[in-house]
Amino acid sequence: MQKAIGYQCSLCQTRYGLDEVTYTCPKDDGVLDVLLDLEAINRAASPQTIFDSTDRSMWRYLPLLPVSDPGHTGTPLRSVGWTPVYRPPQLAAALGMKSLWLKDESGNPSASFKDRASALLIARAAEIGAEVIVTASTGNAGAALAGMAAAAGQKAVIFAPKTAPPAKVAQLLVFGSEVILVDGNYDDAVALAVAAADEYGWYCRNTGYNPFTAEGKKTAALEIWEQVIVGSQVKGRLNVFVSVGDGNIISGVHKGFRDLHALGWLEEMPRIFGVQSSGSAAIANAYLAGTEEIKPVSATTLADSISVDMPSDGLRALRAATQTGGAYVVVEDEAILAGISALGRVGIFSEPAASTAYAGLVKALADGLISPDEPTLVLLTGSGLKDVRAAMQAAGEAPVIAPNLQSLNEFFAKKG
Ligand SMILES: *Cc1c(COP(=O)(O)O)cnc(C)c1O
Ligand SMILES: [Zn+2]
């Protein structure tokens, strides 16, 4: 069954056949949406066929994905997604909320949300016969591609800024891809990956460039629908908080809900809230200025996964909020660190870009953007182990004492 029928440009709305273009719109470089054959999907599947699936991964949604079964069963490629949703009562109580869900992506094979996109890209690469996949990355997208490529026996090349956190670089290297660090920032790595793909005929996974990444990322929305909206019988519209750098996760989440809505499988679209650090707020700036014109910033946030000068999927990311009655929220890096601590206290270890979404919820409540009565989900996109330096900044240092009881007693006496 052919589930994808083409692309549509997010800027000029021009439609293209699946084999006509590979990346962005030839007219205006607009990011392309993948168009699905909704009738064919509705003939072949229903919500119930999905609910009955025994596949506990993103691949349970294969009927809604624009690729065929990628194979590689029994490998990490097949265990991406179907991440847990938590309802920590202490956190909800502290925020005065009734219905709060946290979806934790740290259990993905490479410990971040990005595995969803990379797993789908591996499937697409096989279909078009690509020998080498290349990507630029702040770390997580590269680690995800390297891990998924290793699982599938696919060749991959990763460009990352040389300032990427060491844990992320270590992960890239361990997975055995060709890893090249660039003496520049993420935006420089992006440009180099595109140039290298042209030069060597590689298939480029770059975020906000390859239309298929959002199709992988939309599986998070499909899970939120199944696990929370249907599973917990949510009354009213769900608020969904997503941290935003390039804007591809939020665009993918929006696409997932739009697909479900268009299929007639979802009654009410959730309201989507994008959260950015004040040190990297290009999209939020446009939102707050009431324009769709996104201007580059000089990114400085400690949340490296969302540190982006010029978001590559900015327009769709902006519309994910404006078209759903959501909003953009800006948080300070201190609030991001406080978020790491708050999440840690309920047993969830998040990297800064993940706790950003939680900090956004705290801010949205304080500003009255949402009411504590509204059902709300926060997407936590990556593991704290990805950036232990930031974790130590949030948690502080542990005391060191002599290994005897006297020192321990003195320590507790001093602490009072
Ligand atoms: C990539 C990433 C984000 C942001 O996704 P964008 O598509 O760049 O907006 C957020 N959190 C983590 C952990 C990420 O790796
Ligand atoms: Zn266009």
Check residue 9 and give its pLDDT. 98
| Owning domain of residue 3 | 1-44
pTM value is 0.96
**How many Å apart are CA 259 and CA 237, to the nearest integer?**
17
81 and 35 part of one domain: no
Check residue 164 and give its pLDDT. 85
**Listed residue (329, 324, 320) closest to 270, CA to CA:** 324
Check residue 218 and give its pLDDT. 98
Own/partner pairs for 190-197, CB < 8 Å, 24+ apart?
A: 190/136, 190/312, 191/136, 192/136, 192/159, 193/134, 193/135, 193/136, 193/159, 196/134, 196/157, 196/159, 197/134
83 and 36 part of one domain: no
**How many Å apart are CA 329 and CA 376, to the nearest integer?**
15
Instruction: Answer whether residue 191 is part of any domain.
Output: no
341 and 256 part of one domain: yes
Q: How far apart are the first and last CA of the chain?
A: 69
390 and 333 part of one domain: yes
Q: How far is the CA of 334 from the centre of ligand 1 (A)?
A: 19
Largest CA distance in the chain: 76
Angle at 343 between CA 337 and CA 346, to 5 degrees: 150
23 and 102 part of one domain: no
Check residue 139 and give its pLDDT. 85
240 and 338 part of one domain: yes
277 and 340 part of one domain: yes
Residues with CB under 5 A from ligand 2 (ion): 9, 11-12, 25, 27-28, 30
Check residue 346 and give its pLDDT. 97
Express the helix, strand and coil content of the chain in percent, nearest 5 each: 45, 15, 40
Q: Is the CB of 247 under 6 A from ligand 1?
A: yes
Q: Are 23 and 204 within 8 A, CB to CB?
A: yes
292 and 388 part of one domain: yes
Q: What is the pLDDT of residues 169-220, one digit of tens each?
A: 899 999 999 999 999 988 899 999 999 999 999 999 999 999 999 999 999 9
Q: How far is CA 382 from the centre of its chain?
A: 8
CATH number of the domain that 277 lies in?
3.40.50.1100
Q: Are 72 and 96 within 8 A, CB to CB?
A: no
Instruction: Answer whether residue 186 is part of any domain.
Output: no
**How many Å apart are CA 156 and CA 24, to the nearest integer?**
21
Check residue 342 and give its pLDDT. 97
Q: Are 311 and 287 within 8 A, CB to CB?
A: no
Pocket probe mutation, ligand 1, options 209, 246, 349, max atoms within 8 Å of Cβ: 246
Q: What is the DSSP letter of 416?
A: -
Q: Is the CB of 280 under 6 A from ligand 1?
A: no
Check residue 167 and give its pLDDT. 84
DSSP 10-55: TTT--EE-TTT-SSS-TTT-PPEEEEE-HHHHHHH--HHHHHT---
55: phi then psi, degrees, rounded to nearest 5: -80, 110
Pocket probe mutation, ligand 1, options 112, 215, 277, 355, max atoms within 8 Å of Cβ: 112
Identify the three-state secondary structure at position 249: helix
Q: How far is the CA of 384 from the centre of ligand 1 (A)?
A: 14
Q: What is the pLDDT of residues 293-344, one digit of tens each?
A: 999 999 999 998 999 999 999 999 999 999 999 999 999 999 999 999 999 9
Q: Is the CB of 137 under 6 A from ligand 1?
A: no
1 and 106 part of one domain: no
Number of compact structural domains in the chain: 2
25 and 81 part of one domain: no
219 and 263 part of one domain: yes
Q: Which residues of the chain have pLDDT under 70?
A: 1
